[in-house]
Structure 1
Amino acid sequence: MPAKSKAQQKAAGAALAAKRGDAKRSDLQGASKDMYDSMSEAELEEFASTSRKGLPEHKG
């Protein structure tokens, strides 16, 4: 399932970085923290790899 907004794609990228150990989990906040806890690395990778071209900043 691709990300539906740029904000969702960014949050998934931050959560994925934390899952992989490239960023600290304690630095996460809001949606990225929820995504970290509830999604697998594969799911996060799918969201984070969504092209941002044509996506709205926030889903409506």
Structure 2
Amino acid sequence: MPAKSSAQQKAAGAALSAKRGETKKSELKGASKSMEKSMSEKQLDDLASTKRKGKPEHAS
């Protein structure tokens, strides 16, 4: 499932980093915190690897 905005993509990237142990889970805030808990590593990777071209900063 592709990200709908660049903000969603960035949150998924932060959550993926924490899930892999590259950053501390305690550093996560907001959407990335809930994404890390509720999504698998594969789902996060799919969201984070979406191309940014043409994506709005925030989805409406």
- Per the alignment, residue 16 of structure 2 pairs with 16
Q: Name the aligned partner's letter for residue 6 of structure 1.
A: S
TM-score (norm 1): 0.99
Gaps of 5+ in 1: none
Segments ≥4 residues shifted beyond 2 Å: none
Gaps of 5+ in 2: none
Report the CA distance between 1:26 and its aligned residue.
Answer: 0.2
Aligned Cα root-mean-square deviation (Å): 0.3
Task: Please give the residue correspondences for 1:1-60 in structure 2 after superposition, counting only pairs within 5 Å.
Answer: 1-60=1-60
SS in 1 for 2:16: helix
SS in 1 for 2:23: coil
TM-score (norm 2): 0.99
